[in-house]
């Protein structure tokens, strides 16, 4: 028996165990039968082990260049470096689906481990794990019946076709797994939402159970999107970090809704409100992840992101999406009214943390819906009448920009507001200094930068405004201006991790926004044709073309242009950009040369040419672009910190420091997530 046949058998057995998992846990949740629950969580563990074994076997086939496996022959090559042999496992439709299922069953096994230790909420977790099993059944079935990664060849080729050259990069080795952790992680929030609808209850304990899983998914999705953006920036040679590609949009949409979901879960847990809204957000977040999967694998797109052009596979995925979203939405319509048991009947005031959070949530959802319309509309029009229209960056920037701008205005104020009803006199000592610092900083920027546009000023101002909000909340944590030097540091060290995580994430948003302003409004581009020894001034630097020479790589040949950058202090930096040619794939890629720094990047691209006509060199100045990925890193770190337990780590029992209704101070209540 060939090793890959064992992998196929393991996957088939995993399908059977997933069915047992789903049925037994549903039965155990309804009846309280501990034997059924135990069998269900054992099945979840075994399902993960079998899928992991299947994935490892496929990886071995890629590493060993086993070209008797059709997938290896189509997407690998014997000369490929080891890292790209491994990443080739998920650099295709079949392997990426298997990675999807591996992560899905990993979350199932982790949920099962959590279920075993639960004393309260066992039925909710059992229902959720049962739903998770149903998702596993759907995707393993999709693999086995339409996308078998272990299909064998009857005629053995001499070598493989190789992986798409632009995917042969460390960034693309790690970007898909991280993105899938986010996509698939949202299935846990979805499963908890369906469990809440089955039980007719979405209370504080339910929100507490679901919150950490959603934060894991959100943090991973943030990292995955940032890695993809970083890869496109340095690998594609375009000098941009976001192109509003349909697949980029497909990852952005669930991220936006998941952000709203995190804040809604906080309100359910703290104030017993927003039950129906939160459940709906959980359904839509995972639903948008599935829509992204459909866009990539349906044959609708032809791009580096599109893994298949087989409409039949896309149709199967579409059916899965319709069932996975349609059935829970029907259940939501039937059961949503039962979710708010023991709800606090007092409505929050217009000036309250609940209202501010709901306003931001609505803006996030409307933004996601806008991106969805702009992404799908051209595809729908083409499917209906064959006409091709383009909805590009101008549409998204004109529609999404103002919505996110409004969100950034509200975001830093929300943590400063008390629950239920805030008083103007309690937030004024924080908001007035925030406004003052923002206005002064804006005035300084206006005086320092000639001819700055109103859009650049607005974007920079929003970033500074959010940053001042973080500082204001830190002051509030430390006890306000009167206590900041007396016992403030002790209070800050004892603050709850969710609240600290919130501030780190909001700081990341501020840094990210300032980075966008820098690269969007102050970048420059110089395109020139140079001979060896020629110099060109760009920005504050002088660029000299030192040499152009052929080089050889492990599975490619290249022409490399070496440019010497000299700054105002006569410090020199050697930058080498390449055009790589892959003979097996019959294609080429561009490798940019980048000098990164705290204040931005210098980005050099060799565009080809001859000694007679000169060599094309493109030089980009990218101010503050590194802040974009630094901000994304801070957001991810904030999400991970917010997974910690709530309440002060120093004085959790102190009512004086934790009850916003008693003293109405904005600093008194940790905001988890």
Query: Whole-angstrom Cα distance, residue 555 to residue 82?
Result: 12
Least-confidence region, from 22-36, 225-239, 395-409: 225-239
- Residue 376 has a CB neighbour count (10 Å cut-off) of 18
pLDDT tens for residues 429-477?
999 999 999 999 999 999 999 889 999 999 999 999 999 999 999 998 8
**What residues have CB less than 8 Å from 105, skipping those under 6 apart?**
14, 18, 44, 47, 48, 51, 52, 136
Task: Please say if the pLDDT value at position 323 is more than 90.
Answer: yes
Helix (H, G, I), strand (E, B) or coil at 587: strand
Task: Spell out the domain ranges in the chain.
Answer: 1-164, 169-341+351-410, 416-522+631-668, 524-623
For the segment 338-367, the average pLDDT, to the nearest whole number, is 85
Helix (H, G, I), strand (E, B) or coil at 579: strand
CATH architecture entry for 1-164: Up-down Bundle (1.20)
pTM (2 decimals)? 0.91
**Rounded (5°) CA angle 555-172-48:** 115
Query: Whole-angstrom Cα distance, residue 471 to residue 463?
Result: 13
Return left, alpha or beta for 199; rule: phi > 0 is left, psi -120 to 50 is alpha, else beta. Answer: alpha
Query: Whole-angstrom Cα distance, residue 306 to residue 308?
Result: 6
Task: Please say if the pLDDT value at position 670 is more than 60.
Answer: no
Closest among 313, 320, 315 to 383, alpha carbons compared: 315
Task: Please say if the pLDDT value at position 106 is more than 90.
Answer: yes
- Residue 230 has a CB neighbour count (10 Å cut-off) of 18
Using the structure block, give the residue that is written with the tokens 């809704």. 257
Task: Please say if the pLDDT value at position 656 is more than 60.
Answer: no
Backbone phi and psi for residue 559, each to the nearest 5 degrees, phi listed first: -115, 125
Task: Please say if the pLDDT value at position 646 is more than 70.
Answer: no
DSSP percent split of the chain into helix, strand, coil, nearest 5: 65, 10, 25
Query: Whole-angstrom Cα distance, residue 459 to residue 201?
Result: 42
pLDDT tens for residues 514-557?
999 999 999 999 999 999 999 999 988 999 999 999 999 887 89
Closest among 143, 192, 182, 139 to 323, alpha carbons compared: 139
Task: Please say if the pLDDT value at position 243 is more than 70.
Answer: yes
Residues found in the chain:
673
């Amino acid at each position: 028996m060939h090793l890959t046949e064992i992998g196929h058998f393991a996957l088939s057995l995993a399908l059977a165990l997933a069915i047992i998992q789903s049925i037994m846990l549903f039965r155990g949740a309804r009846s309280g039968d501990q034997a059924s629950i135990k069998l269900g969580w054992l099945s979840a563990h075994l399902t993960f082990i079998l899928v992991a074994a299947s994935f490892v076997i496929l990886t071995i086939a890629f590493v060993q260049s086993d070209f008797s496996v059709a997938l290896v022959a189509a997407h690998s090559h014997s000369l490929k470096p080891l890292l790209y042999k491994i990443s080739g496992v998920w650099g295709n439709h079949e392997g990426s689906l298997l990675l999807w299922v591996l992560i899905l069953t990993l979350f199932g096994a982790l949920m099962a481990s959590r279920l075993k230790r639960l004393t309260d909420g066992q039925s909710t977790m059992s229902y959720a794990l049962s739903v998770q099993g149903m998702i596993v059944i759907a995707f393993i079935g999709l693999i086995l019946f339409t996308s078998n990664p272990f299909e064998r060849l009857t005629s053995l080729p001499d070598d493989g076709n190789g992986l798409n050259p632009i995917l042969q990069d460390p960034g693309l080795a790690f970007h898909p797994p991280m993105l899938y952790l986010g996509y698939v992680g949202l299935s846990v929030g979805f499963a908890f939402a369906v469990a809440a609808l089955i039980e007719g209850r979405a209370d504080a304990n339910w929100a507490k159970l679901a919150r950490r899983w959603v934060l894991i998914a959100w943090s991973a999705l943030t990292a995955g999107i940032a890695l993809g953006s970083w890869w496109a920036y340095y690998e594609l040679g375009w000098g941009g970090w976001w192109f509003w590609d349909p697949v980029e949009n497909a990852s952005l949409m669930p991220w936006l809704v998941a952000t709203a979901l995190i804040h809604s879960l906080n309100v359910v847990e703290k104030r017993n409100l927003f039950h129906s809204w939160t459940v709906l957000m959980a359904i839509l977040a995972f639903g948008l992840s599935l829509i992204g999967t459909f866009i990539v694998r349906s044959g609708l797109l032809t791009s580096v992101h599109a893994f298949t052009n087989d409409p039949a596979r896309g149709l199967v995925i579409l059916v899965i999406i319709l069932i996975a979203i349609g059935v829970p939405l029907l259940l939501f319509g039937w059961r949503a009214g039962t979710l708010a048991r023991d709800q606090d009947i007092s409505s929050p005031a217009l000036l309250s943390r609940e209202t501010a959070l709901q306003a931001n949530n609505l803006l996030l959802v409307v933004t996601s819906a806008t991106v969805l319309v702009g992404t799908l509309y051209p595809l729908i029009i083409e499917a209906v009448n064959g006409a091709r229209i383009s909805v590009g960056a101008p549409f998204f920037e004109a529609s999404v920009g103002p919505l996110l701008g409004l969100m950034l205005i509200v975001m830093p104020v929300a943590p400063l507001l008390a629950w239920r009803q805030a008083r103007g006199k309690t937030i004024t000592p924080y908001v007035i200094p925030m406004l003052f610092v923002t206005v002064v900083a804006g005035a300084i920027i206006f005086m320092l930068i000639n001819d700055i546009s109103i859009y650049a000023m607005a974007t920079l101002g929003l970033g500074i405004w959010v940053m001042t909000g973080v500082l204001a909340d830190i002051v509030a944590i430390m006890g306000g201006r009167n206590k900041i030097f007396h016992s403030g540091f002790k209070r800050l060290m004892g603050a709850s991790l969710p609240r600290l995580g919130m501030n780190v994430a909001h700081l990341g948003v501020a840094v990210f926004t300032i980075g966008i302003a820098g690269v969007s409004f102050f970048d420059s581009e110089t395109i020139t044709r140079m001979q060896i020894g020629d110099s060109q001034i760009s920005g504050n630097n002088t660029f000299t073309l030192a040499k152009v020479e052929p080089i050889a790589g492990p599975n490619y040949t290249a022409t490399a242009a070496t440019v010497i950058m000299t700054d105002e202090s006569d410090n020199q930096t050697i930058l080498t950009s390449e055009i790589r040619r892959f003979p097996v794939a019959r294609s080429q890629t561009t490798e940019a040369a980048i000098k990164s720094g705290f204040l931005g990047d210098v980005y050099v691209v060799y565009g080809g040419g001859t000694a007679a006509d000169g060599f094309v060199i493109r030089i980009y100045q990218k101010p503050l672009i590194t802040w974009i990925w630094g901000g994304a890193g801070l957001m991810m770190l904030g999400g991970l910190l917010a997974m910690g337990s709530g309440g002060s780590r120093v004085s959790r029992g102190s009512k004086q420091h934790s009850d916003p209704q008693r003293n109405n101070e904005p600093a008194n209540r940790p905001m988890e997530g």
